[in-house]
Chain A
Amino acid sequence: MSEVLRIEDLSVTIAATPIIKNVSLSVAAGEILGLVGASGSGKSMTARAIMQLLPPDAGMSGSVQLRGESLSRMSAVQMQAVRGRDLGMIFQEPMSALNPLMRIGDQVAETVLLHRAVSRRAARAAARAALDQVGLSGEAGALDRLPFELSGGQRQRVAIAMAVVMAPCLLIADEPTTALDVITQAQVLALLRDLAKVRGMGLLLVTHDLAVIAQLTDRVAVMQQGEIVEQGSTAQILYHGRQPYTQSLLAAARLQPKRTGKPRVDAAEVLQVDGVVLDYPRRRRALFSAAAPLRAVDGVSLSIRAGETVGLVGESGSGKSSLLKVILALQKSNHGRVSLLGDVFSVATGTTKKRLRRGIQAVFQDPVGSFDPRWPVERLVAEPFFLLDAPPHAAERSRKVAEMLDQVGMNASDAQRYPHEFSGGQRQRIAIARALITQPAVIAFDEAVSALDVLVREQILLLLAQLAERLNVAYLFVTHDLHVIRAIADRIYIMQRGRIVEEGATESVFNSPQHAYTRALIEATPALPA
């Protein structure tokens, strides 16, 4: 196999801080190399260095060669010709990589027109062929669609078509499936593999997800703090990885923070959801016709016992977030009701509602957006005290906040600091402290660990397992991530298009899924070899 990419002794500094240190890599034609590491390890910066797209204050040394030609010595103009023609790249967020006002056929054709002196018609033909290849043609007018008419997976296919239309010798994919749900992820990964294997294109796959690495790559390079700590064939690294860092990544990816206590089948039910239906109004189609509503949640019933961890799984758009809003009484449902601790919560008002609200708190997905940037931690954590009839003041409040911070593994001295001073994992700990402070019976987690790095995610899940054990609090864990749910949930509900299609104890659902959708989800989830 011929080598398409060779990086030797690549070092990058940004504002005199070393970001990448002496990285050496190579990718052969038809080979898939995985570049894996925690966030901030320098893997995305390596990809940008190959494209020569470093930020303006960056300094670079070492050599990057594409088929024997040194990219690091090229002028900006020469490099423009190489990008898109010999080097393709796809990014994590497929929406922002596409021009929202341009038809997809034209976007792909534009790449061809930039690099080859051909007619617009020939460029359109090339675009059609490329979109064919990524499985996006067929019906009439497929090329004339605009990005907003496509799903996330389809948009990522368009981005791939743009990257491969010139048949580059190397494709760099930076977290290409992180923003997609599992089933779409499986399709996109299969497409990438075909492109590499059938067309003999080199593929550099940058990801934090070891399961994706295990499924797709031939070789792996593990990156930590800007250095490659280990590299070798995928099987060798996954089974015989020597470096402690590799080991910890593997352990985190295989995480199993199972609680010691058995699921309580006899405990009292703390939360009951009965036949909840939620319609969103939709734009009317004709001037005088009644608008047909969009049914986001379609007759869902579920229940949670004291101290139990329940998972609610579904892909994006399945209605799980809408259901969560109804459960938290942030959104009124059209039918059905939610009962908390035996009282009807969904229609409660005034002091009853305030009292019940103490029983259910929430942790949200975005560790940045979850906190008002102008409030110090103490005030943030104490915010739910608003629900108490006699909220504690001054010293008493500080003491309670400090106690909660201690529970989640933070320092009491953190109380006077502001959210931007903390990392993503620490912020989620603070969010958990805020949720715990009213001593609720149930905490709802909306994709609460999705934005976290594998290593941090493991720590947070361990913390949650300990807290559940210690405080006997029940969790409702809403996520699309089957790994996480399998590691933490006692019981799961699978949701598709607003309905619960399957429910049961976690292991029995995973081992013998009954519904076709559940089977598809489990099959599509990339798994690490045990």
Chain B
Amino acid sequence: MKARTGRNWSLALGAGVTACFIAAAALAVFWTPFDPQLLNIVDKLQPPNQHHWLGTDQLGRDVLSLLMAGAKTSVGVALLAVIIGAAAGVPLGLIAAANQGSVDELVMRGNDLIFAFPALLLAILITAVFGPGAVNAVIAIGIFNIPVFARVSRAGALQAWTRDYTLAARVAGKGRWRISWEHILPNLFGLLVVQATIQFSLGVIAEAGLAYVGLGAQPPVPSWGRMLNEAQTLTALAPLLALMPGLAMLSFVLGLNLLGEGLRRGTGRAP
């Protein structure tokens, strides 16, 4: 028996941390303390002070503003990638579960094909063809989210299809599509929310990774991955420059994972 006593601390903590980052990202759309793209060589490499709370980088840009703007990029890319993955993957999973047999095989083997392909290789391929940039990073990450959502929703849907209420709906004359839409999908909701938080956190890491190797958001669009990259040569001189984006990423991903775990426990289902 699973212990369900006590408060769901991981949910509370995860939701709190995630909310902070998303609020920061949302705020960055309208306002940051300084313009994150404003160069100010005179004030370069300042330690944290009352003017620049987290100091400035080698080009004199305000680190806090860069982090907030980076969060905006991060959240935007990860969120769009989750939306692409869910929008394509969930219907595929529902179709596969509703049509046992050849359609199911086709969809799932197609998924295996994407899974079998190294993620970074495809990202490089896409950026090589279409050029690097945040939009192409969204597409690359989104494509890899599709089979994940397809598998999760297929597994959940197959289980839901064994319940008698789907039989009752068939006796009421409803077809597979309508039952999938009216009965199966709403009952997968908890499962999908949990999976979405997990894919979101993976998306944050993937975006930073792509930006780090120069395939993600291009300068001057701020990104945590590129901040890390640029700080690399200065680690001896200004360790905080590498530490700040690293810590931001770590705590955001940790918060998202805690949120996912908390939601999973809260809805009582394992993904």
Distance in Å from the Cβ of B245 to the closest Cβ of chain A?
A: 42
Contacts of A56 in B (CB 8 A): 1
Expressed in whole angstroms, the Cα–Cα distance for A369 and B169 within the complex equals: 12
Q: Beyond A372-B187, A373-B187, is A386–B174 a contact (Cβ under 8 Å)?
A: yes
Residue with the greatest number of chain A CB neighbours at <10 A, chosen from B169, B171, B174: B171
Chain A residues with CB under 8 Å of B173's CB are 353-354, 357, 384, 386-387
Task: Decide yes or no: A364 and B168 within 8 Å by CB, A55-B1, A372-B183, A373-B187 being known contacts.
Answer: yes
Most buried by B among A354, A383, A387: A383
CB under 8 Å from chain A, chain B span 1-54: 1, 5
CB–CB B172/A369 < 8 A: no
Residue on A nearest B165 in the bound complex, by CB: A372
A372-B187, A373-B187 as given contacts; A364 in contact with B169, CB under 8 Å: no
B163 close to A (CB within 8 Å): yes
Choose from B5, B164, B186 the contact partner of A364 (Cβ within 8 Å): B164
The complex places the Cα of A364 from the Cα of B171 at a distance, in Å, of: 11
Whether B172 contacts A383 by the Cβ 8 Å rule is yes
Q: Is B213 located at the chain interface by the 8 A CB criterion?
A: no
Contacts of B168 in A (CB 8 A): 362, 364, 370-371, 383, 431, 434
* B170 interface hit (Cβ, 8 Å): yes
- Tell me if A387 and B187 are in contact (CB < 8 A): no
Cβ contacts B157-182/A at 8 Å (1 or 0 each): 00000011101111111100000001
Q: Are B186 and A365 in contact (CB under 8 A)?
A: no
Q: Is the CB of A366 within 8 A of B169?
A: no
Within 8 A of A (CB), among B193-248: none
Choose one: A328, A369, A373; the contact of B171 (CB below 8 Å).
Answer: A328
Q: B167 contacts which chain A residues (CB < 8 A)?
A: 330, 362, 364
Contact of A240 with B by CB under 8 A: no
Q: Is the interface of B mostly helix, strand, loop or mixed?
A: helix
A283 within 8 A of B: no
Chain A residue with the shortest CB-CB distance to B183:
A372
**Number of B residues with CB within 8 Å of any CB on chain A:** 17
Flag A370-413 by CB within 8 Å of B: 1 or 0 each: 11111000000001101100000000000000000000000000
Give Cα distance in the complex from A384 to B174, angstroms: 9
- Judge whether A361 is part of the interface by a CB distance below 8 angstroms: yes
Residue of A nearest to B160 (CB): A372
| The one of A57, A330, A365, A370 that contacts B170, using a Cβ cutoff of 8 Å | A330
CB-based contact B165/A369 at 8 Å: yes
A-B contact count (CB 8 A): 56
CA–CA, A387 and B168, complex, Å: 12
In the assembled complex, which residues on chain A have CB atoms less than 8 Å from the CB atom of B169? 372, 383
A387 adjacent to B164 (CB under 8 Å) = no
Would you call A370 and B171 a contact (CB within 8 A)? no
CA distance A372 to B184 in the complex (A): 9
What are the residues of chain A within 8 A of B170 when measuring CB–CB?
A: 328, 330
Known A369-B164, A370-B165: A384·B187 in contact at CB below 8 Å: no
Q: Which residues of B contact A330 (CB under 8 A)?
A: 167, 170-171
Q: Which residues of B lie under 8 Å from residue A353 when comparing CB positions? A: 173
A444-478 contacts to B (CB < 8 Å)? none
Within 8 A of A (CB), among B84-104: none
Is B164 a contact partner of A370 (Cβ separation < 8 A)?
yes
Residues of A within 8 A of B186 (CB): 372, 374
Closest CB in chain A relative to B177 CB, distance in Å: 13
Minimum distance in angstroms from A331 CB to a CB of chain B: 10
In the bound complex, residues from chain A placing their C-beta under 8 Å from that of B171 are: 328, 330, 357, 360-362, 384
Residues of B within 8 A of A384 (CB): 171-173
| Interface bits A1-22 vs B (CB < 8 Å: 1, else 0) | 0000000000000000000000
Q: Which B residues lie within 8 Å of A370 (CB)?
A: 163-165, 168
How many Å from the CB of B121 to the closest CB on chain A?
36
**Bound-complex Cα distance A364 to B168 (A):** 8
CB closest chain-B residue, reference A363? B168
A366, closest chain B residue (CB): B164
User: Smallest CB-CB separation from B179: which chain A residue?
Assistant: A372
Instruction: Kindly list chain B residues whose C-beta atoms are within 8 Å of the C-beta of A361.
Output: 171
Give every chain B residue within 8 A of A372 (Cβ-Cβ).
165, 169, 182-183, 186-187
Interface on A for B, CB 8 Å cutoff?
55-57, 328, 330, 353-354, 357, 360-362, 364-366, 369-374, 383-384, 386-387, 431, 434
- Nearest 7 pairs of A and B residues by beta carbon: A364-B164, A384-B172, A369-B163, A369-B164, A370-B164, A387-B173, A383-B172
Pick 17 A–B contacts, CB within 8 A, sort by A: A57-B5, A330-B167, A330-B171, A354-B173, A362-B167, A362-B168, A366-B163, A366-B164, A369-B163, A369-B165, A372-B169, A372-B183, A373-B187, A374-B187, A384-B173, A386-B174, A431-B168
